[in-house]
A and B are shown apart, each in its own frame.
Chain A
Amino acid sequence: MARTAVRGRLSWQIATVDDVVVETARVRTIVLGVSEWPGHRAGQHLDVRLTAEDGYRAEREYSIASAPGEPVAITVERLDDGEVSPYLTDELRAGDEIELRGPIGGYFVWDVEHGGPLLLVAGGSGIVPLRAILRHRRRSESDVPVRLLYSSRRIEDVIYRAELDERADGAEVVYTLTREQPPGWTGHTGRVDAALLEEVAWPADEAQPPLAFVCGPTSFVETVASGLVSLGYPPARVKTERFGATGR
């Protein structure tokens, strides 16, 4: 049986925290120096492992926020009752070491050759792997049409807002704010539902079927994925990645 070369190290390695960037009040991007990083693809993730003095361990998975070729970075949202996320967002600092393994993922990945048109649908921190896809598209100077539909609770919760607002290289960005809107907001409000998908998603076109990437909490992903299939997207063209409601 043919075997592919194994991508990435299977074992844990120690990386250095190079920088901790504040994205929003609860969200930080952690830029990592990984001496033996084999490179990654847009959409992949890595596993982080924390060990306490008494040997207690916790492992979590985080999507890689940076494009192939950029320094490895993860973006972490602090969950109030989280065990790992508060440590990563509030305690970790430049110079610290952290154990990780990766990159991991062969399904929820976008390479330029996969083409489009691309529909990216993000719920909350589900934006992280989709931002890696957007950055990869930009760095590759790809002209694949891309539209992002990004659901957040409030404008203050929108991660990477300044970057997304640039709408670089023709990327279309549509926000919806579900809990609260700033004064004068003319954008969408309320959760992503069948009606909003119908308005925003690329029409299902047999000649040029769109490729969708949906990421966020499980219930968000299920609603959006079934909504896209109802609009005629072939299930195989709707890629999904579910984050737990209590984080991963």
Chain B
Amino acid sequence: MEALDGNAIGGLLLEVFGAEMTNATGVCAHCGASGELATLVVYLQAPGTVVRCRSCGQVLAVIVERLGVKCVDLRGVAALDRAD
């Protein structure tokens, strides 16, 4: 089961944030690496979507859907900046 990248959650991010986020920059709270969300490591086949830092592998974000509502946990993200 290979990991995908942040492109695979483009629709999910658009839905959750109300804006295009694949080219937003995220900073990893664990190691400080920064990169566009499209380049992050994404695991889709799970009880939730898990987004990991490409540098250190730690969890940046977890998205769990419950009764049609998507709950986004961003504890692993130190900063998130839209490209514009």
Contacts and interface: CB of A to CB of B under 8 A. Distances in A.
Contact of A4 (B6, B19, B38, B44): B19
A3 B19 contact: yes
Contact of A107 (B4, B15, B36, B44): B36
A2 B84 contact: yes
Contacts of B18: 6, 10
Nearest to A46: B11
A138 interface: no
A217 B19 CA distance: 27
A47 B11 contact: yes
B4 A104 contact: no
Given A106-B22, A106-B23, A241 B11 contact: no
Interface size bracket, A side? 20 to 34
A110 interface: no
Contact of A105 (B20, B44, B84): B20
B7 interface: yes
Contacts of A241: 5, 7, 38
Contacts of A10: 14-15, 18
A51 interface: no
Residue among A107, A241, A243, A248 with the highest chain B CB neighbour number at 10 A? A107
A240 B14 contact: no
Given A10-B14, A45-B7, A106 B2 contact: no
Given A3-B19, A4-B19, A7-B20, A107 B7 contact: yes
A242 B4 contact: yes
B59 interface: no
A140 interface: no
A218 B23 contact: no
Interface in A1-18: 2-4, 6-8, 10
A243 B22 CA distance: 15
A106 B11 contact: no
A218 B20 CA distance: 23
Contacts of A135: none
Interface of B: 1-8, 10-11, 14-15, 18-24, 36-39, 44, 82-84
Given A105-B10, A241-B5, A245-B2, 13 more contacts: A6-B19, A10-B18, A45-B7, A47-B11, A104-B10, A105-B22, A107-B7, A108-B38, A217-B2, A218-B3, A240-B39, A242-B3, A242-B5
By Cβ-Cβ distance, the 3 closest A-B pairs, closest first, are A107-B38, A106-B23, A104-B10
